[in-house]
Amino acid sequence: MDFIIELILELVWEGSIEASKSNKIPKYIRYPLIVIISLFFIAVIGLIFLSGALMLKDNIIAGIVIILIGLFMLVFTIVKFRKTYLIKTEQK
């Protein structure tokens, strides 16, 4: 049962990522998909920053490492988002 649920959610997630990149899908479907995907990544990175900030109370070094990991993820997510959605590449 766990495998079936994981398979269905993975198909929906990957399908929405591919649909948001396709120019054949209407804009009123693509833009909400891009927003949902972006909000998911923002939430995950926000939770990483939150856990790093909470970890600073107990262990300063571990908290700084977690915050740095969140910072690297944020930078690479912005770069990937710009490359995927904002910078138009030549299509054959």
- CA–CA dist 50, 34 (Å, integer): 24
pLDDT digits (tens, 9 = 90+) for 1-48: 888 888 888 888 888 888 888 888 888 888 888 888 889 999 999 999
Confidence (pTM):
0.77
